[in-house]
Amino acid sequence: MNHVETRLLEVVNPDGLHARPAAMLAGALSGLDAVVTLENPRTGTPPVALTGPTSILLLAARQGDTLAATARGVDARAALDALDTLLRAGFGETLDAAAPPLPGPLGVSPGRAVGPVVQMPPPLTEPPARPSDPAREADRIAAAGAAVAADLLDRASRVEGAAREILEASALLATDAGLLASATAIAGEGAEHAVWVAVTGLAESLAAQGGRMAERVSDVHDLRNRLVARLLGRPVPGVPHPQAPFVLVARDLAPADTALLDASTCLALVTEQGGPTSHTAIIARSLGIPAIVAAAGALDIAEGTIVLVDGTTGRLEQNPGLVQIQRAEAVAVFTGTGSTSDGHRVQLLANIGSAGDLAAAVDANAEGVGLFRTEFCFLDRETAPTVDEQVAAYRPAFAAFPGRRVIVRTLDAGGDKPLAFVTDPAEENPALGMRGIRTSVRHPRLLDDQLRAIALAAAAEKAIVGVMAPMVATVDEAERFATACARHGLARSGVMIETLSAALLAREITAAVSFTSLGTNDLGQYAMAADRMLGGLAALSDPWQPAVLRLVAMSAAAATAAGKPIGVCGEAAADPLLAAVLVGLGAGSLSMAAPAIAAVAETLGRHTLDQCERAAAAATAAPTAAQARAAVVSILG
């Protein structure tokens, strides 16, 4: 007799299913009459048959993953018991040798939101076969197909373009005669099981055809899950789409889930697992929605409960009072003067590169411009802009901030910002190539023309204009730049500290110029040897990395000792808690994407300089980025 058993198995050992646990799992099945398949809903990879250790590695299972196991055969139950025992025992790995658990919950994407909880439905696994009346089950299959098709058509009517076409195609498939016939043929095993097997079979044959056919596999799996969820009377797996705004709570979110998130209705994200560099954190920050990770117990919060999510501090509160709700919903507005709660002044400036950024900077009441990325004005040019063209490009920014600081960065061409008229496309390592100030060695005229244009534009407007050079690595470069600026009557000349070399030489480089500005995006890239463009290296590109913070601390100490201003204009300045750390390290100005200014101002305004300094000391002393963040949350949270 063919027994089928299904079970959810949790991976508890710190290192997940690497080679040794995989071999132990495969070995546990020897001698048993059972075929086991495992699926890892987190990675979304197709189910793998447990035929040997290699197949298990395909699951990419890590600590905290819940695997869906299906066993078939006389010894189905014994097989799952054996696997369960090994997994629960953590394969004999010392469980407490794991990295110290994150002191959750942890805010990973700033901002506050209040809304009703919507729990991410649990993943579906193959429903077991159960002998049933074939005629009745065939009716249930047809009814489920019709209901799912109607639902998909309703969704299709509310969207446009490619999304609409995909939903309409799925609706057609839900009532496809051939597909329904293959499910109905095995309806005697229960409608849920029959639909699962029939639609999975279709997906497998599409996958085998490759190419465009294979691209439909995830749509077909989605249809299968909808049909089976309908038959089981359970919510459809995947990111829910309620009409009203909601706070999404999940164990963890996979890239495939978050890609479908609609930031206009999803107010905030809360996950039980994950860390500051998890996919949830990255996507939440890019969508600008508050997020908390490592929130133990979040999955137990009842659907519909009103929660307050503070993604800056990591606070998660159920049924908050009216006063807290009003405070959370109050839109932070920057009054135009940044300071800590005890009055220590911190200039809050905007980063700009386009007319849109400039308008946003004015809207946000920015105190000025801390980084004008001039290369963004000329991204589509085939030939170098003339002096007149450049004057026309710079004047609007100066005109928007009369009497205020506007720091213009000379062209940072190359690396992640190639300019056709100057960047050599054949460079093998553009990030280590002819970028930033190095361009002026090969094209001295370009720097000269730009400084002339900046000086002319500055003379025509009332802004307090400074100039700074990107990608400086040597003291010579800093000195030559300051001399060139002085030749054009530009007295306020500075350099960015964004190479490892510049941070290590901060004392000498600071002496050569009138100010420095920390470019934490590149400083992180070069300090961590991690390409800033690679999403897969996001954990290394995290500005909370203590190595980066210690370089910032060194540079700030050099500026303080020399009595010269230092600011931060990399992404780090836009993270409210990190902004407080940067102030504690000695940054006198923070420049960021304009929409971030209000939240940064609000956080600084709630803490004293002394608290910022204590947070800075704790963050730089921490051994890991996660611990740096957690230490700061415990001081400022």
Shortest distance, position 193 Cβ to Mg ion, whole Å = 56
Closer residue to ligand PEP in complex, CB, 56/590:
590
Nearest to 314 by CA among 117, 112, 105, 109: 105
- Tell me which of ligand PEP, Mg ion, none is bound by residue 371, counting a contact when its beta carbon lies within the kind-specific cut-off of 5 to 8 angstroms: ligand PEP
Shortest distance, position 568 Cβ to Mg ion, whole Å = 12
Grouping H, G, I as helix, E, B as strand and the rest as coil, residue 616 is: helix
Shortest distance, position 465 Cβ to Mg ion, whole Å = 20
Strand-strand pairing, 493-497 and 515-518: parallel
Residue 279 annotated to the active site: yes
Closer residue to ligand PEP in complex, CB, 367/412:
412
CA angle 269, 270, 276 (to 5 degrees): 90
By CB under 5 A, residue 104 contacts Mg ion: no
318 CB-side CA count, 13 A: 12
First vs last C-alpha separation in the chain: 60
- Tell me which of ligand PEP, Mg ion, none is bound by residue 373, counting a contact when its beta carbon lies within the kind-specific cut-off of 5 to 8 angstroms: ligand PEP
The contacts of residue 203 (CB under 8 Å, 6+ apart) are 217, 220, 221, 224
Residues that bind ligand PEP (CB under 6 A): 371, 373, 412, 498, 519-522, 569-570
Nearest to 172 by CA among 207, 146, 197: 146
Closer residue to ligand PEP in complex, CB, 39/522:
522
C-alpha 194/C-alpha 187 separation (Å) is: 6
By CB under 5 A, residue 353 contacts Mg ion: no
Shortest distance, position 522 Cβ to Mg ion, whole Å = 4
Phi/psi at 74 (nearest 5 deg)? -60, -40
**Rule CB under 5 A: which of 515-534 touch Mg ion?**
519, 522
Closer residue to ligand PEP in complex, CB, 190/519:
519
Residue 466 burial (CB count, 10 A) = 26
The binding track of 483-512 with respect to Mg ion, each residue x by CB under 5 A or -, is ---------------x--------------
Q: In what order do the strands lie in the sheet with 306-310?
A: 106-109, 291-293, 266-271, 246-250, 112-119, 306-310, 315-318
| Host H or E run for residue 359 | helix 355-363
- Tell me which of ligand PEP, Mg ion, none is bound by residue 257, counting a contact when its beta carbon lies within the kind-specific cut-off of 5 to 8 angstroms: none
Shortest distance, position 118 Cβ to Mg ion, whole Å = 39
Closer residue to Mg ion in complex, CB, 47/519:
519
- Tell me which of Mg ion, ligand PEP, none is bound by residue 477, counting a contact when its beta carbon lies within the kind-specific cut-off of 5 to 8 angstroms: none
- Tell me which of Mg ion, ligand PEP, none is bound by residue 252, counting a contact when its beta carbon lies within the kind-specific cut-off of 5 to 8 angstroms: none
Segment contacting Mg ion by CB under 5 A, of 267-275, 336-344, 442-450, 514-522: 514-522
Shortest distance, position 374 Cβ to Mg ion, whole Å = 13
Q: In what order do the strands lie in the sheet with 4-10?
A: 4-10, 66-72, 35-39, 48-49
Residue 569 annotated to the active site: yes
- Tell me which of Mg ion, ligand PEP, none is bound by residue 584, counting a contact when its beta carbon lies within the kind-specific cut-off of 5 to 8 angstroms: none
Burial category of 158 from C-beta neighbours within 10 Å (exposed 0-12, middle 13-18, buried 19 and up): exposed
Closer residue to ligand PEP in complex, CB, 503/609:
503
Residue in 193, 221, 279, 607 annotated catalytic: 279
CA angle 221, 269, 150 (to 5 degrees): 35
For tokens 């929130």, what's the residue? 295
**Residues lying near Mg ion in the complex (CB under 5 A):** 498, 519, 522
Q: Which residues are catalytic?
A: 279, 569
